[in-house]
């Protein structure tokens, strides 16, 4: 897969505090790239530099062969952004918000119907945004960012504080975008969401990328390749662990399966949550406290 985003040695300080400390990563075309990390890790600051909203102190950012911030005018035509706050006009309807944005950006109003349909908002289009649930407002934001059919889509914590149904719908939308050829750059602190959606992940902590790879690759690194087999002998529960890496253990497991009906068999694969905690460690707790 070709790289569509490349970031090299990016840094940013606020006052004397460096909040992004020389990070580098690549994103391949048409993948969902998950940018994870505790509050205050520097995720939003990184996105804001990538979309040219704030300047980096040093480093290089290239998106689809264009340089940030030099080629910003061209970049705006291929990049869509869903920020981490809901900046829509509350008194306007969903449709009016989208039409207003379209007219500001010389986008044909026919695109409004397309995006309303894409995010399942057609039936809500006449409602004033102030009367919408958080989930519907979030979909309005997504629709707005999709008006110009971006090739690269940034979403900063898109399912934060949403009810499970709204979050599910947004995840489905993200997958649909990927399947239609969009590259997605997603920040989230929901590990299950990242595991479900992302092809590749970078975990950021205190301004550094502390782990990266596919969700499976990361889980394999810290998990055990083993299963726990639970069965019953004369009313007493037995529990045995077998390594999946040795032939001897696999044969013992096969023998047990023949002899004793299992009550439960569970793999010992690590969850992404465990990966996250292992690479962010105590700092995770510290940074949570620092940001409360």
Given ligand ADP, Mg ion, none, residue 19, with its beta carbon under 5 to 8 Å by kind, binds ligand ADP
| Of residues 256-285, those binding ligand ADP (CB under 6 A) | none
User: Bridge partners of 32?
Assistant: 184
Return the residue of 44, 188, 205, 206 that touches Mg ion, per CB under 5 A.
44
Does 22 bind ligand ADP (CB under 6 A)? Our answer is no
CA atoms within a 13 Å half-sphere pointing along the CA-CB vector of 272 = 26
Nearer to ligand ADP, 39 or 238 (CB): 39
43 contributes a contact to ligand ADP by CB under 6 A: yes
Q: Of these partners, Mg ion, ligand ADP, none, which one is at the site of residue 40 (CB under 5 to 8 Å by kind)?
A: ligand ADP
Do the Cβ atoms of 48 and 195 come closer than 8 Å? no
Burial of 277 (0-12, 13-18, 19+ CB in 10 A): middle
34 binds ligand ADP (CB under 6 A): no
Phi, then psi, of 243 in degrees rounded to 5? -75, 140
Q: Which of 6, 13, 19, 118 binds ligand ADP (CB under 6 A)?
A: 19
Whole-angstrom CA distances from 192 to 34, 72, 167, 184, 277 are 11, 34, 12, 17, 13
Determine if 140 is a binding residue for Mg ion (CB under 5 A): no
Among 5, 27, 34, 37, contact with ligand ADP (rule: CB under 6 A): 37
What are the respective helix, strand and coil percentages of the chain, to the nearest 5? 40, 30, 30
Q: Which is nearer to ligand ADP, 41 or 132 (CB)?
A: 41
The binding site for Mg ion (CB under 5 A) comprises: 43-44
């Amino acid at each position: 897969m070709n790289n569509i985003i490349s970031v090299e040695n990016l840094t940013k300080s606020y006052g004397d505090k460096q909040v992004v400390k020389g990070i580098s990563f690549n994103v391949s075309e048409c993948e969902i790239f998950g940018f994870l990390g505790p509050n205050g890790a520097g995720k939003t600051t990184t996105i804001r530099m990538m979309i040219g909203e704030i300047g980096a102190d040093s480093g290089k950012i290239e998106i689809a062969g264009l340089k940030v911030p030099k080629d910003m005018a061209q970049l705006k035509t291929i990049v869509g952004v869903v920020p981490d706050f809901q900046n829509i006009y509350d008194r306007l309807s969903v449709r009016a918000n989208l039409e207003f944005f379209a007219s500001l950006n010389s986008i044909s109003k026919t695109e409004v119907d397309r995006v309303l349909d894409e995010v399942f908002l057609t039936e809500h289009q006449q409602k004033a945004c102030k009367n919408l649930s958080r989930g519907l407002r979030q979909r309005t934001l997504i629709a707005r960012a999709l008006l110009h059919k971006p090739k690269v889509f940034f979403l900063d914590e898109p399912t934060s504080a949403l009810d499970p149904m709204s979050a599910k719908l947004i995840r489905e939308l993200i997958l649909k975008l990927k399947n239609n050829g969009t590259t997605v750059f997603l920040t989230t602190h929901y590990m299950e969401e990242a595991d479900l959606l992302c092809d590749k992940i970078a975990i950021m902590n205190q301004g550094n990328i502390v782990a990266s790879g596919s969700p499976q690759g990361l889980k394999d690194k810290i998990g055990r390749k083993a299963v726990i087999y639970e069965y019953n002998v004369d009313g007493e529960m037995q529990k045995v662990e077998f390594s999946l890496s040795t032939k001897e253990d696999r044969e013992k497991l096969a023998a047990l399966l023949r002899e004793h009906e299992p009550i439960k068999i569970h793999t010992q694969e690590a969850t992404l949550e465990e990966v996250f905690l292992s690479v962010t460690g105590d700092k995770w707790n510290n940074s949570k406290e620092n940001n409360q």
